[in-house]
Structure 1
């Protein structure tokens, strides 16, 4: 077998480019990524301080006008605006010294009620970067980092990030794709939302189906307490309750619907969780399993969404599962086959891909 000699520095390689040109191109990409990483802090600040909301729909503003609208210090606001212009999030008119948040950008950064809202993702960065030292230790020891070990920004940011997608798709698309489930919910059904977090998914279902009863379960007490407050604020506390419980031991039985929203892969023993669900389901009941739309094949995740998901798996999902010392640590891109095999072993033999989006895949599962 012939083996070619390595190219000399500066030699022309793939695509007619020299090695130095390819190094320079990749360096530019890394610098771009580094700039985005630092700019993420500014995006989070803009979201949490209400700067984007203050700019949305009001036309051009000077830095002083924006500072007055938000009650913030003008010098900091002006510096923040410079970073937003550099990143292309905000436009600048030098002749008038004014800044504008385009309506299309406001739909992503300033409107939590829209499915396009994505600023919540950046709230998580504060917590994720704070765990770097712990992750270094985990890489060396194989131990995990429990969900509860992270800062509160992760819990809040996760809820903010997923809420718009759930609001847009959960009732009109995902539940509607499950055979006979909507009809049961309209008549009055018992629902368990496992791994409910802040309970936005639970409350969305409760608002849509006032004749049904919903119980959200999560092992993380601060999230359960937050969920109770959110349910009260949204006026659904009369038909929604939240309890601190694990996925493999939550109380109750004869549930017509059991849901898992982006959490099954975080469990150290997802098989035990599914076995418990099989026992807790009513006759003819359904499990709805919502998982990230990522592939078990690394080369198929080379997309913007795949990059976010796989990086999140390194930072949160895999360490959370390993911290529970269970038999599986799936990560968030284990793929449909691995999940289906766990469900089948648990006695849930009926499996169907019911719906999907760029971010999620929704499975209808039953006996």
Structure 2
């Protein structure tokens, strides 16, 4: 006998509450593009410099069309990003938003976060096709906003925490770096983390590696611009094939979960690290269960995981696809399976967890 499932009665109030939640979500989705627009056209910086302004003045200050400036300002006011004075017709960028949207030295600097989100959604069609074909989408296949936005977003964290908090949380590492250590930075991208460490510890030498050739080209130029090219080199290499041995410190920033073969990468690190060396693994902040991650940060990271990080892993050999919200227990399994014996969570921020891994 076939059992017919009877649909539950609709609660109209709950339905309409969800509809208006969805309206807010669509507004937020569009605002991602508007924030990137405001960043690239210089709208936020002009408002921070000028104080209360009008659409006409903002357009003049940025050499853009007034019609776009007007609609952009109204959308920003509706979303609470700028304040609107109906009496004077002026728009103001509050100091808190100015810090988050115009000051690259602020630990709350956000334009890169929006830029990588916009770039990630831009490539949704490729991800849809990959999901149907049980395939992946490589990091190199994404639009430049993904690469640039990723570097800008995570560089903010590294500037704020790497030298002053994360490295000191590792047993004896700062003393080694001050004396002069050999450091390998795996999956270095544009080299932001590598260069920050090189600037802080001039007696040490650093080798950054990444499979993405365009990122390594950018990293080499940035090392030259930063004046650290005498002690920093970059190579195009996968995480299972970077060169060198006897490293005192190996670092992997926000990249282990993106790798197709993180176990193979961990085994290679184990071979390359000195017997008393340290591997610092920095991963997106995550708990060990789905329930642990049902929060605003987890929601954003699960979104990136679906559209960016998991497809990237699936495009590589093995394709383990740990996911952005892998959690410390899964990372522990990866590194202990690869021969490491010591593992500890030593620091964290709302966006990152720092793990200390030792032979």
Q: CA deviation at 1:298?
A: 2.0
2:132 corresponding residue in structure 1 = 140
Provide the rounded CA distance (Å) in 2 between the counterparts of 1:327 and 1:95: 58
Question: Are 1:186 and 2:178 counterparts?
Answer: yes
State how many pairs are aligned.
Answer: 355
Which residue number in structure 1 is paired with residue 9 of structure 2?
A: 8
Of 247, 250, 254, the match for 1:255: 247
Tell me how far 1:31 sits from its aligned partner: 1.2
1:38 aligns with 2:37: no
Matched with 1:157 is 149
Alignment of 1:79-118 (within 5 A): 79-118=71-110
Q: Assess if the C-alpha contact under 8 Å between 1:92 and 1:98 holds in 2.
A: yes
Q: CA deviation at 1:365?
A: 0.4
SS of 2:50 mapped into structure 1: coil
- Matches of residues 1-367 of structure 1 in structure 2 within 5 Å? 7-9=8-10, 19-326=11-318, 328-367=320-359
Cα distance between partner residues in 1 of 2:100 and 2:211: 31
Q: What do residues 102-127 of structure 1 show as CA deviations (whole Å, max 9, x unaligned)?
A: 00111111111111011111212342
**Secondary structure of residue in 1 paired with 2:317:** coil
Q: Secondary structure at the match of 1:361?
A: strand
Structure 1: segments with no counterpart, 5+ residues: 10-18
Q: CA offset at residue 57 of structure 1?
A: 4.9
1:269–1:327: 8 Å Cα contact kept in structure 2?
yes
Contact 2:298 2:325 in 1 (8 A): no
CA RMSD of aligned residues (A): 1.5
CA 249–24 in structure 1, closer or farther in 2 if over 3 Å, else same: same
Which residue of structure 2 aligns with residue 15 of structure 1?
none
TM-score norm. by structure 2 comes to: 0.96
| Distance across 2 between alignment mates of 1:128 and 1:199 | 21
1:145, 1:323 within 8 Å by CA — same for their partners in 2? Answer: yes
Residue 95 of structure 1 deviates from its aligned partner by: 2.2
State the alpha-carbon separation in 2 of the partners of residues 299 and 29 from structure 1: 22
Give the Å deviation of 1:28: 1.1
Distance 1:8 1:162 in 2: 46
SS of aligned partner of 1:330 = coil
3-state secondary structure, aligned to 1:258? strand
Q: How far apart are residue 266 of structure 1 and its match?
A: 0.6
Query: What SS does structure 1 have at the residue aligned with 2:162?
Result: helix
Gaps spanning 5+ residues in structure 2: where?
Answer: none
TM-score by length of 1: 0.94
